[in-house]
Amino acid sequence: MGLALIVHGGAGAMARERYDAAREGCREAAVAGWRVLRAGGSALDAVEKAISVLENNPGFNAGTGGVLTTDGRAQLDAGIMDGETLDAGAIAGVERIKNPIQVARRVLASPHVLLIGAGAESFATDSGIALCDPSELVTPAQYARWQRGYGLGDDVNVGDRVDVGAGLGAIDMEAEPGTRNGAYADDEPVHADAHKHGTVGAVAVDARGVVAAGASTGGIAAKHPGRVGDTPIVGAGFYAENGLGGVSSTGHGEDFIRLLLARRALDYIAAGSSAQAAATKAMQLLSRRVGGSGGLILLDGQGRVGYARNSPTMAHAFIVEGMDVPFAGV
């Protein structure tokens, strides 16, 4: 069975000057995951590693550098799945975990599938994962963006709890990239989430033919506190099943949940589509059925690559047997 690994750094509208950094961030994550596979590691280990690298890169909307809620907090979600056992683990709405994918991996090994908020954080400490201060997850760029978007002054410190509910309308979700509201500026991350998207993810096939998939996100910009998107939802943000393949989604999560799009993409494989055709058909369904936007990455059960998006960009990188270095694109 050929090894394969693909990662994404989120779909959305990215400033052209950010393309190189986004490609490089994905390439770095793909290399890290690939090393795990080449050393005989499992697909789960490779996915966890690749996503951890993306979470640690402040330029992506996951882990450190995620977008903030309307009240200025980083609330993170992540999920991971083993295609051999169909075990899955996910966490949602956590504020004190630097690498949510690593806690999701531990949930996968527990009797549970999805833990939220304080319960997920106490599970993390019980599992030996230290909590961080919430402010450690907030980058200056995301904080400044939140301040601009909500029209706050400079007298707010990172980590402050600020009630700006009345200012929610200040962000124009339909605004064009490059404009002040709902858009990116020069100091913003590689994936500034100008069109509500975010998320990082990975899919891998290991030497035993086991498929694993996962995703991690800060969610969507200007989300209500407590809002959970597709990323920690099995079948929507990620799915893996040996023989069929694995999928990781990125985009406006509500629409991916409505369609259970990650699983639907694998249904196309089950019906005879190639990896690339399945990815394309899933995105066409997203557009046609619910008018959603975003993208997804996919490996079929043999490690063949597919990816598609209906948003302007989706940072991604992949490497399969026979390649010396990952291919990276946006």
231 binds ligand GLY (CB under 6 A): yes
231 is catalytic: no
Q: 193 Cβ partners below 8 Å, 6+ apart?
A: 10, 12, 61, 67, 218, 220, 221
3-state secondary structure of 173: coil
Nearer to ligand GLY, 25 or 251 (CB): 251
Nearer to ligand GLY, 189 or 253 (CB): 253
Q: Find, among 284, 306, 311, the residue nearest to 295 by Cα.
A: 311
65 binds ligand GLY (CB under 6 A): no
Which of these ranges, 48-56, 91-99, 181-189, 250-258, lies near ligand GLY under the rule CB under 6 A?
A: 250-258
245 binds ligand GLY (CB under 6 A): no
Find the shortest distance in angstroms from Cβ 271 to ligand GLY.
25
201 binds ligand GLY (CB under 6 A): no
Integer Cα distance of 100 and 267 in angstroms: 28
79 binds ligand GLY (CB under 6 A): no
193 binds ligand GLY (CB under 6 A): no
- The DSSP secondary structure of 44-75, one letter per residue, reads HHHHHHHHHHHHH-TTSSSSTT----TTS---
Residue 177, Cβ density class (10 Å: 0-12 exposed, 13-18 middle, ≥19 buried):
middle
| DSSP secondary structure letter of residue 139 | -
- Of the residues 95, 206, 230, 300, which one makes contact with ligand GLY according to CB under 6 A: 230
| DSSP secondary structure letter of residue 167 | G
63 binds ligand GLY (CB under 6 A): no
- Of the residues 78, 101, 103, 220, which one makes contact with ligand GLY according to CB under 6 A: 220
Nearer to ligand GLY, 83 or 198 (CB): 198
Q: Find, among 291, 326, 281, 289, the residue nearest to 311 by Cα.
A: 291
**Where on the chain is the footprint of ligand GLY (CB under 6 A)?**
198-199, 217, 219-220, 229-231, 250-253
Active centre residues (catalytic): 199
